[in-house]
Amino acid sequence: MKVTYHGQACFILEHDGHKIIIDPFLSGNDKAVIGPDEVDVSYVLLTHGHADHVLDAEPIARKNNATIIAPNELAGYYASKGLTVHPLGIGGKHDFPFGSVKVTLAFHGSGIETENGLVYVGPPVGFLITMGGKTIYHAGDTGLFGDMKTVIGDLHNIDVALLPIGDNFTMGPEDALVAAEWTGAKTVIPMHYNTFPLIAQDGDQFARDLEAKGIHGIALKIGETAEF
């Protein structure tokens, strides 16, 4: 299975001809190396409604006739635009052609700015994704919380955890190190940092701090791929 980082919380996962994208924020990120018109996927996964996670969801879904997988209210927002969606609730799991998706808690906010003001689109979430025999935990935007250990880590065999480290809006590196230990992930990849100055962090230092705790850490550069 291949995991490619595209900045902020955006990743493309692929295995055996299946490709999915999580939280596409490309056209609004001047550090991105591809645009939404270059994305070829069958599914678009969204953790919550903030622009730096959903900005390119609609154009990517329309171009590819892709299904949007998202929390129920957020899925309903895109269904109202005529897009194909699959809604999920926290704790819910569903099998798809590429594998499965289970929804976890995340502690953050979720709303979409429209011409009529802010629209609430349900709770923020994380995802436990199985693909190619591997389990990937995309934490979404979140702070540290105890279920990362007791529900997410203890009950699942996580191969790769994608954890935010930017601080200010999400966990910072110190809390993310605790999250890495609690999830028991074999490999941890930092995300949601360095997109703009307020969330500037040293991803390479975070990876070294992980290694000091006996956890394999990879600070992927934007556009870089890791295989598992």
- What is the residue range of 156's domain? 2-227
Q: What is the pLDDT of residues 115-130, one digit of tens each?
A: 888 989 999 999 999 9
In one letter, which amino acid is 55? L
Let me know: does 227 contact 2? Beta carbons within 8 Å.
Answer: yes
Query: Which of 147, 201, 211 has its CA nearest to residue 179?
Result: 147
Which CATH number goes with the domain that contains 34?
Answer: 3.60.15.10
Beta bridge partners of residue 104, listed in sequence order: 126
Q: Taking 90 as the threshold, does the pLDDT of residue 189 lie above it?
A: yes
Q: What is the pLDDT of residues 75-97, one digit of tens each?
A: 999 999 999 999 999 999 999 99
- Would the pTM of this model clear 0.75, i.e. be above it? yes
Alpha-carbon gap, residue 70 to 21, rounded angstroms? 12
CB atoms within 10 A of CB 18: 17
Count up the domains in the chain and report the number: 1
Q: How far from 5 is each of 8, 51, 221, 228, CA to CA, in Å?
A: 8, 18, 7, 14
Q: What is the pLDDT of residues 8-51, one digit of tens each?
A: 999 999 999 999 999 999 999 999 999 999 999 999 999 999 99
SS3 142: coil
Q: What is the pLDDT of residues 92-148, one digit of tens each?
A: 999 999 999 999 999 999 999 888 889 899 999 999 999 999 999 999 999 999 999
Percentage of residues in the chain with pLDDT exceeding 70? 100
